[in-house]
Amino acid sequence: MAKPLNQQVIVITGASQGIGRETALQLATKGASLVLAARNDEALAELARQVERLGGQAETVVTDVAEHEQVERLAQRAIDRFGRIDTWVNNAAVSIYATVEQMEPEEMERLVRVNLLGQMYGARAAIPHLKRQGGGTIVNVGSALSERAVPLQSAYVASKHGIQGFSEALRLELMHEQTGIDVVLILPSSMNTPLFNFARSKMGVQPMPVPPVYEPRAVAEAICHAAEHGGREIVVGGWGKLLTVGQWLSPSLLDRYMLQGARAWKQQKTDRPDDARDNLFEPSTGPGATTGDFGQGSKSTSLYTTHLELHPGRKRAALAALLLAMLALVRRIGR
C-alpha cells in the first residue's frame, strides 16, 4: 500500500550502525516518524538527536531482537508513542568469520537468533498492528548471500538464506489473507558498514567486504523506496545480481572461481591483526557510525538498482531480453 513517507511511522531494528542508521537519517529528511531499536543506547540517543535536528521525530527503544519479549515491547512502544506502525524494517545483524569447525555451538545459535529469529519475531510483532490498519510494509534486509554462499561465513549465509525463505513464505500467507501488507526483501551486495569492525573473526585478521563495495546510502534508498511503494524484492548493487545469475547458470563454475588461488578466502581478509572486538554477545559502545573503513573506491549508488530494480517494468523487460539472448545462444551451440 503506497503511502507518503511523511505520513508514516517506521520501526527500524539495528538502527545504531550502518544501513539502519543511514536509513533513519534519510527517512528523517522525508518527514517520517521513527522508532529506533538497537542494543547500544548511547548510539541510539545520538541518532535520535540527529533525526530531530533534521526535523523528524524519534522514539528510541533498547532492544535485543534475539529476545521475542523485547521485540513485542518494541512494537508496543511504537503504538504508545505514535498510535500505529506503517512500516517495520528488520535490519539487525551480527557476523562471524570462521570455518564451521572453528565456531562454537553457542556462537552459531546466537547469530541465527539475531539474524533470522530476530526478523521472524519482528514480523510477528508487527503483523497484528498492520492488519488493524488495513495494510503496511515489512522490509526484511537479507543479502546477496541469500542467493549464493561463500566460505568463512557459513552461519551468516545460512541466516540470510533463511531470511529469503521466510520472506517468501510470509508474503504468500499475507497475500492469501488479503491483508494489504507487502513483504519486501532487500538484497544488498558488499557494503561499507561498521559490520566488519564488529564481526567476530577467527581468521587471525580483521575481515573486509568483497569488492566491489557500495555505501550504505544505496541500501537506505532502496529501503525508503520499499516503505513508500511496497514491492517484492530489491537487489542493491549489480555485483549481487551477477552473483545470482551466476549461481542460476552454473554454480559449479562459481565454485571453481572462488576456489582458484583461494580467491574467496583472500578477498575477505585484511592485513590488519584481529583486535578481538565484536558485538556478537555484547553491544558495541560509542556514538555509532554509518560507514566503515572501506570507503576508498566504494560506490555511493548503484546504477543497476536505480535504473532497473526500482522500476519493475524495466526490470522485467531486461530479464526478458536476457532470457531471449540465452535461448539464442543455446540454439546456436546446439547446431
**Which of 138, 92, 97 lies closest to 115 in space, CA to CA?**
92
326 within some domain: no
140 within some domain: yes
332 within some domain: no
Rg of the Cα atoms in the chain: 20
Domain that holds residue 202: 5-301
Which one of 97, 156, 214, 304 is the catalytic residue?
A: 156
For the chain, what is the domain count?
Answer: 1
Averaged pLDDT, 318-323: 60
- Check: CB of residue 25 under 8 Å from CB of residue 91: no
Q: Active site includes 156?
A: yes
Predicted pLDDT of residue 335: 54
For the chain, what is the HEC assignment?
A: CCCCHHHCEEEEECCCCHHHHHHHHHHHHCCCEEEEEECCHHHHHHHHHHHHHCCCEEEEEECCCCCHHHHHHHHHHHHHHHCCCCEEEECCCCCEEECCCCCCHHHHHHHHHHHHHHHHHHHHHHHHHHHHCCCEEEEEECCHHHCCCCCCEHHHHHHHHHHHHHHHHHHHHHHHCCCCEEEEEEEECCECCCHHHHCEECCCEEECCCCCCECHHHHHHHHHHHHHHCCCEEEECHHHHHHHHHHHHCHHHHHHHHHHHHHHHHCCEEEEECCCCCCCCCCCCCCCCCCCCCCCCCECCCHHHHHHHCCHHHHHHHHHHHHHHHHHHHHHHHC
- What is the pLDDT confidence band of residue 321, given thresholds at 50, 70 and 90? low
Predicted pLDDT of residue 238: 81
For the segment 149-161, what is each residue's pLDDT rounded down to a tens digit?
999 999 999 999 9
Averaged pLDDT, 39-44: 98
329 within some domain: no
- Percent of the chain clearing pLDDT 90 (strictly above): 81
Domain of 153, CATH number, reads: 3.40.50.720
- What is the pLDDT confidence band of residue 301, given thresholds at 50, 70 and 90? confident
* Lowest mean pLDDT segment, chosen from 20-29, 86-95, 308-317: 308-317
Predicted pLDDT of residue 165: 98
- What is the pLDDT confidence band of residue 276, given thresholds at 50, 70 and 90? confident
145 within some domain: yes
120 within some domain: yes
Predicted pLDDT of residue 309: 64
Q: Determine the Cα–Cα distance for residues 13 and 299; give it in Å rounded to an integer.
A: 25
331 within some domain: no
pLDDT at 314 over 70: no
Predicted pLDDT of residue 224: 98
Averaged pLDDT, 2-6: 90
pLDDT at 300 over 90: no
76 within some domain: yes
What's this model's pTM, rounded to 2 decimal places? 0.91
pLDDT at 229 over 70: yes
Give the chain's end-to-end CA distance (angstroms, integer): 49
Predicted pLDDT of residue 244: 83
